Structure 1
Amino acid sequence: MKDFEHLMTVWQGQPVKEQLSVDEALRQVKKGMGGLRSKTLQGIIGISIALAVTAISLLFSVFTSWASYIGLLTLIIGMSIYLSLQIGDYRTISSHDPTIDPAKYLETLKIYQKRRAYLYDRFYYIYAVIITIGIGLYAVEVLEDKPMMVKVIYYSLTAAFIIFCSLFLKDRIIISEKEKVKLIIEKLERLKDQFEG
């Protein structure tokens, strides 16, 4: 009997889960998703500009080395694949309104979360290799008549930048985005549990 009373005391001492205000939770979800949509759209615009500049260079510049053409073509292929993934993600998070059907929106967010995990965990390194090869091949002709010191500085800075993005910047962006998406999913799941429970 003592154990039962102790169990009751512990159970009653548990904090009661605070009920979420539906309006407040949906407002926070919309605000969070607005930020994600904005960042994704900025990425789409940025890669589109880079892709356009690279395509114009490929079409209107005259190079003597085949390596420059292959390098630019490699850059275009890599950026096109990345752009298509970004557009797909943007469509995924923009396709439903959380205020109309939160349960469907929750499923959409989980799909978005999986797509982003693929983008950051697997495709990013493929993309980095494609871009590195493209830049390396393009730079062969551009740096052909430059002094060795300029070549060393260029390739060192390029390698340092790619390593910095891959090891430091990418992880900070990923962690920030994963936390935002996780928080939004948790809010929607709590709302769903409130209505089902």
Structure 2
Amino acid sequence: MQEFDHIEALWAKAKHTVDVKISADDMLKQAKKDVNAMRTKSLLNIVGMALSIFAFASIWFWYDFNSIFAQLGISIVILAVLLSTYMLYKNHWLIAQNDVTENPNIFVQRLKLYQVQRHQLYNRLYWFYVIAISIGTILYFFEILANLKLILQFVIPILSFGWIILCSTLIRKAVIKREKERIGLLIEKFERISRQFKETE
């Protein structure tokens, strides 16, 4: 038993003394892969929002509204989604406009700005978005729900606003936390890459 403890102690010591050095090139490849994944996700968000604008706008073509409130409601929803899509595009442009391999320091600055703008997007703009969507949905429901069965007149608003509340609390917090960690790790990687490049010069 003592021999096993001795071997285990030697293994633990050897494990701590081995310093694995990753080259700046390998770190840069990994960081570039992470940035490309972030760019792709950002672009997919923009495409999803753009498709939802067309989906809401198509309601005008498929349904003949009798009330101006329903049309006003859809207009408010489309404007809110349009503004959010524009803000997402502005964020995307920050990380999409330059090559990460050219100057890691410049890219770190852009990532930090991207992080600040994403924080603003999930806090200030998000609440504007939720309030606008809620008002638009309420105005839209005035006409639509009147044509449905009584049970659906209760179920649809409850499910709709329940989903908005769920997105505004649990899902939003989880997304903010995950994105903050991901961008933070990426900033740390690029700062390490910059330091390694300076050391090799």
Q: TM-score, normalised by structure 2?
A: 0.84
Q: Which amino acid aligns with 2:180?
A: K
CA contact (8 A) 2:104 2:190 kept: yes
Q: Partner residue of 1:150?
A: 152
Distance of 1:156 and 1:49 partners within structure 2:
25
What's the counterpart of residue 39 of structure 1? 41
User: Which shifted more, 74-83 or 172-181?
Assistant: 172-181
In the other structure, the counterpart of 1:193 is 195
Contact 1:82 / 1:127 at 8 angstroms: preserved in 2? yes
Corresponding residue number in structure 1 for 2:179? 177
Q: Which amino acid aligns with 1:155?
A: P
Equivalent of residue 76 in structure 2, options 74, 77, 82: 74
Which residue matches 1:107?
109
Q: Tell me what 1:92 maps to.
A: 94
- Alignment length (residue pairs): 183
**In the alignment, what sits opposite 1:133?**
135
How many Å apart are 1:174 and its aligned residue?
1.5
User: What does residue 49 of structure 1 align with?
Assistant: 51
Q: Call closer, same or farther: CA 1:17–1:84 in 2, change over 3 Å.
A: farther
Shift, 1:138, TM fit? 0.9
Residue of structure 2 equivalent to 1:167: 169
Are residues 121 and 152 of structure 1, via their aligned partners in 2, closer, same or farther at CA, if it must alter by over 3 Å? same
Counterparts of 2:18 and 2:191, CA distance in 1: 17
Contact kept, 8 Å, 1:58 with 1:73, in 2: the verdict is: no
Percent pairwise identity? 30
Specify every segment of 5 or more residues in structure 1 that has no aligned partner in the other structure, as ranges.
Answer: 1-14
Q: Scaled by the length of structure 1, what TM-score is found?
A: 0.85
